[in-house]
A and B are shown apart, each in its own frame.
Chain A
Amino acid sequence: MRKFYTLLSREVRGYFHSPVAYVVLIFFLIVSGIDFYFQVSFMNQRQVQYTVQEAFFNSVFFWFAFVLIFPLITMRLFAEEFKLGTIEPLTTVPVRDWQVVLSKFFGALIFYLILWVPTLLYFWIFLRVTNQSAAHSAGAYFGSYLMLLLLGMFYLSIGCLTSVLTRNQIIAAVISFCAITLLFFLGLVQFILLDITSTTRDLLGYFSAIEHMGTFSRGVIDTRPIVLYVSMTIVMLTLTYQAFQSRKWRL
């Protein structure tokens, strides 16, 4: 456990030792700040059926920033170690391969969660200024952030897998960006293709991140997406572990 903790703390610190972390943080703050400002000013001008919090987590701005950050967070994880050769000292000390894989995944997850911390502040400021809560209930906040965690886990695990497959960070980023974007648009197919059957439509709906976020941000905690994302994360991490071990045979 101590070795895992050591690896994990190195991973998290690694983010803040590189300028990438700050660039991502600032980019994310700007986009989410604009998102929040736009939603509030939009709602100031007309009557709407949803809350500020729901609008914030379901806007185009949000999804745009959301899909973009994962490749940036995960591309360096393994690719950099392969490139610099630091994988050699790392794998010749008595640590297990799964400790390395999990430490990288959880390191990325912790950084991802840190990205979201400032958004809590937006809702707090909203509450102080307007004396009104930005959501219907505490459950809505909980649902949104739970969905963020679930989606984050899944997309980060995809990033882990693409990073372990190559020693080039750019390639890792491009592949994971494509994979995440495709998965994301899978949920939009039902709006694009109108002549599909309702069964297909329902099936695609199960994979729709937009739909899931819509439900969760209303405070409705559906267990199906939870099962989906947790199990897919496990699958991706297992594949990452296998790919990481395969380096021994590919060398």
Chain B
Amino acid sequence: MIKVENLTKRYAGQPAIQDLSFEVSQGEIMGFLGPNGAGKTTTMRILAGFMPPTSGRATVAGFDVFEQSLQARAHLGYMPENVPLYSDMRVTEYLNYRAALKGVQHRRVAERVGDVEELCGLKDVKKKLIGTLSKGYRQRVGLADALLAEPDLLILDEPTIGLDPNQIRQVRELIKNLGTHHTILLSTHILPEVEMTCSRVIIIHKGRIEACDTPDNLLGKIRQAGGIVLEAKVGSDNGAEELKKISGVRDVVTDGEDDWKRFSLRVESGIDVREEVFRLAADRHWAVRELTQRRATLEDVFVELTHPDVV
């Protein structure tokens, strides 16, 4: 559905994205992750036909986004960052206008506008001026607009920014449901969101792709960053030294000032040492109040890839 080859964009000589290549196939939900200024919005703007790349090529549904911009644009629904809207129009009026611009058949406009208003929870505010809406509602108007023409591809630039947790959950559900019919490319800062909704993730940093894989595989790659946490009262024992003797434990970090100590164990990948830890604690009569395996999150992947020095 999307094919990007060696895409580069420079602003006044300064590269915003460099040599991006990736593909998104039909029916995928692709998550676009990266710190601020990594080039997410630039990439999405190029794909949406808002501006041309400096070099490289991108196609949407087989149409070049620049050479055959009109056909490419007809296949996508784009929700820009910060959702710029005409504040002097009413919600339904705006959606009617957008539907006509997108070439929705005249007799289907009312039906489509009704549908997206229902879907995005805009029924209560449909007669309000857009200028008086809250950030969350404006966001939903933007999403409704993107969905209007039932496009094959949705490009959503930070669709959940500025929403409250309930709305985020609703939008996440909405996106998941949409994923059954549409191909979606979305960018976000919220990592759990990507883990829950996306089938594949691209991590972009300083204009380059750092990783492109399924969330599970990405996590697999840095399983080491996970480990085991033990919180126990070890008395006069040197807990860290004892724990290090267990085979498979690479490193132990001790926290806590009072009697309760918190040990973070880094273990070799693929080994579960929780049983040995339990036996050790039982032998030494340590009181244990927590023993858990910490799973690596996408946040770890993200931090590791975009801030190598922190880890």
Residues of A participating in the B interface, judged by any CB pair closer than 8 Å: 2-3, 6-7, 10, 14, 17-18, 84-89, 91-96, 247-249, 251
- Binary per-residue interface labels of chain B (91-115) against chain A in the complex, 1 for a CB within 8 Å, 0 otherwise: 0000001101111001000000000
Give, as a whole number of angstroms, the nearest-CB distance from B264 to chain A: 46
Asked whether any CB of chain A lies closer than 8 Å to the CB of B80, the reply is yes
Q: Are A89 and B102 in contact (CB under 8 A)?
A: no
Using CB atoms, name the residue of chain B closest to A85.
B84
Q: Are B70 and A94 in contact (CB under 8 A)?
A: yes
Residues of B participating in the A interface, judged by any CB pair closer than 8 Å: 11, 45, 48-52, 70-71, 73-74, 76, 78, 80, 82, 84-89, 97-98, 100-103, 106, 145
Q: Are A93 and B85 in contact (CB under 8 A)?
A: no
Q: Dominant SS at the A interface?
A: helix
Most chain B C-beta atoms within 10 Å of own C-beta, residue among A3, A6, A85, A93? A93
Question: How many residue pairs, one in A and one in B, have C-beta atoms under 8 Å apart?
Answer: 64
Q: Are A91 and B101 in contact (CB under 8 A)?
A: no
Give, as a whole number of angstroms, the nearest-CB distance from A139 to chain B: 41
How far, in angstroms, from A248 to B52 measured CA to CA in the complex? 6
Q: Which residue of B76, B78, B87, B100 is within 8 Å of A89 (Cβ)?
A: B78
Give, as a whole number of angstroms, the nearest-CB distance from A22 to chain B: 13
Using CB atoms, name the residue of chain B closest to A250.
B51
How far, in angstroms, from A247 to B52 measured CA to CA in the complex? 10
List of 6 A-B pairs having minimum Cβ-Cβ separation, nearest first: A85-B84, A17-B88, A6-B100, A94-B74, A92-B48, A94-B73
Q: Which residues of the partner chain B approach A87 to less than 8 Å between Cβ atoms?
A: 84
Q: Are A14 and B52 in contact (CB under 8 A)?
A: no
Q: Are A7 and B50 in contact (CB under 8 A)?
A: no
Q: Are B49 and A91 in contact (CB under 8 A)?
A: yes
Give, as a whole number of angstroms, the nearest-CB distance from B72 to chain A: 9
Instruction: For the A-B complex with A6-B100, A92-B48, A248-B52 known, give 8 more contacts whose Cβ atoms are closer than 8 Å.
Output: A3-B103, A14-B86, A17-B89, A92-B50, A92-B73, A92-B76, A92-B80, A251-B51
A-B contact pairs, 17 of them (CB 8 A): A2-B106, A3-B100, A6-B97, A7-B101, A17-B89, A84-B87, A85-B80, A86-B86, A88-B45, A88-B80, A88-B84, A89-B78, A92-B73, A92-B80, A93-B98, A95-B101, A247-B51
Give, as a whole number of angstroms, the nearest-CB distance from A81 to chain B: 9
Q: Which residues of the partner chain B approach A249 to less than 8 Å between Cβ atoms?
A: 52
How far, in angstroms, from A96 to B100 measured CA to CA in the complex? 14
How far, in angstroms, from A177 to B266 measured CA to CA in the complex? 72
Give, as a whole number of angstroms, the nearest-CB distance from B148 to chain A: 9
Using CB atoms, name the residue of chain B closest to A16.
B88
Using CB atoms, name the residue of chain B closest to A83.
B84
Q: Which residues of the partner chain B approach A96 to less than 8 Å between Cβ atoms?
A: 70
Using CB atoms, name the residue of chain B closest to A86.
B84
User: With A3-B103, A88-B80 in contact, is A18–B73 under 8 Å at CB?
Assistant: no
Q: Which residues of the partner chain A approach B74 to less than 8 Å between Cβ atoms?
A: 94
How far, in angstroms, from A228 to B148 measured CA to CA in the complex? 45
Q: Are A89 and B84 in contact (CB under 8 A)?
A: yes
How far, in angstroms, from A210 to B119 measured CA to CA in the complex? 59
Q: Are A92 and B51 in contact (CB under 8 A)?
A: no
Q: Are B101 and A93 in contact (CB under 8 A)?
A: yes
Q: Which residues of the partner chain B approach A95 to less than 8 Å between Cβ atoms?
A: 101
